[in-house]
C-alpha cells in the first residue's frame, strides 16, 4: 500500500526486492522464477475464468432452449386436445362432418410441424449441455494448473527464506506440473 511515502510490504515482497538487488545467485533465480510464475499464473487464471464463464453461458442457453422446447410441447398438446375434440365431433349425428374432418387434418399437420420444432430445440439443449460440460472440464484443468502454480510460488518463497536447494527444485517441479496441466487444458484434454 502506498500513500504519502508510507509503504507496507509482506515479508516475501521484501525478500524478493532484496534478492533482486543483491548478488546472491540463489535468491536472484528464485526472484525471477517467482515473477515468471506469477505472470503464468495470471494467464492461467484468466483462462480458467473464461472457461468457467463459457460453461455458465452454455448452461444458461440450454435452460432457455429447454423452456422453449417445453412451450412447444405444451402447444403440441393443445393441438392434440383440439384434434381429439374435432374427432369426437365427427361422431355426433347431424353435424357438418366435412368441417371437422378438415380440422382434424389441419391439427395433424400443425402438430407435425410443432413436434419437429420441439425435437430440434431438444437437440439444441443436448448440444449446449454437452458444451457446458466440456467447458467445465476445461475449467477444472485450468484450476488444477493454477493450484500447482500457486503451490510452486509458495515453495519458492519458502526456498528463498530457508535457502534450501531441494525446495527450489521442488518448486520448479511443481511449476512444471502446473504448466503441463495448462497444456492439457489448452489442448482441451
Domains in the chain: how many in total? 1
Of the given ranges (45-54, 94-103, 126-135), which has the lowest mean pLDDT?
A: 94-103
Q: Is residue 107 part of a domain?
A: yes
Is 6 part of any domain? no
Strand-pairing partners, residue 6, are 3
Q: What is the pLDDT of residue 11?
A: 61
pTM beyond cutoff 0.85: no
Q: Which of 73, 72, 76, 93 is nearest to 84 (CA)?
A: 76
Residue 45 belongs to domain spanning: 23-186
Residue 162 lies in a domain: yes
Inside any domain, residue 60:
yes
Question: Quick check: is 68 in a domain?
Answer: yes
For residues 25 and 140, what is the distance between their CA atoms, to the nearest angstrom? 36
> Is 10 among the domain residues?
no
11 within a domain of the structure (yes/no): no
Helices then strands, each counted (H, E), the chain: 4, 2
Question: Is 62 among the domain residues?
Answer: yes
**Residue 9's pLDDT band (cuts 50, 70, 90):** low
155, 167 Cβ separation under 8 angstroms: yes
Amino acid at each position: 500500500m502506498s500513500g504519502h511515502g508510507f509503504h507496507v510490504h509482506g515479508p516475501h515482497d521484501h525478500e524478493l526486492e532484496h534478492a533482486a538487488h543483491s548478488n546472491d545467485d540463489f535468491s536472484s533465480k528464485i526472484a525471477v522464477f517467482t515473477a515468471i510464475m506469477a505472470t503464468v499464473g495470471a494467464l492461467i487464471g484468466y483462462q480458467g475464468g473464461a472457461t468457467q464463464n463459457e460453461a455458465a453461458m452454455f448452461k444458461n442457453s440450454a435452460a432457455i432452449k429447454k423452456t422453449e422446447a417445453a412451450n412447444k410441447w405444451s402447444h403440441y398438446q393443445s393441438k392434440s386436445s383440439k384434434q381429439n375434440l374435432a374427432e369426437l365431433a365427427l361422431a355426433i349425428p347431424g353435424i357438418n362432418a366435412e368441417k371437422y374432418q378438415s380440422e382434424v387434418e389441419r391439427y395433424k399437420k400443425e402438430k407435425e410441424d410443432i413436434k419437429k420444432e420441439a425435437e430440434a430445440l431438444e437437440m439444441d439443449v443436448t448440444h449446449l449441455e454437452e458444451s457446458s460440460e466440456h467447458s467445465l472440464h476445461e475449467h477444472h484443468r485450468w484450476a488444477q494448473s493454477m493450484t500447482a502454480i500457486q503451490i510452486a510460488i509458495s515453495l519458492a518463497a519458502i526456498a528463498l527464506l530457508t535457502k534450501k536447494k531441494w525446495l527450489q527444485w521442488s518448486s520448479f517441479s511443481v511449476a512444471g506440473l502446473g504448466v503441463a496441466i495448462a497444456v492439457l487444458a489448452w489442448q482441451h484434454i
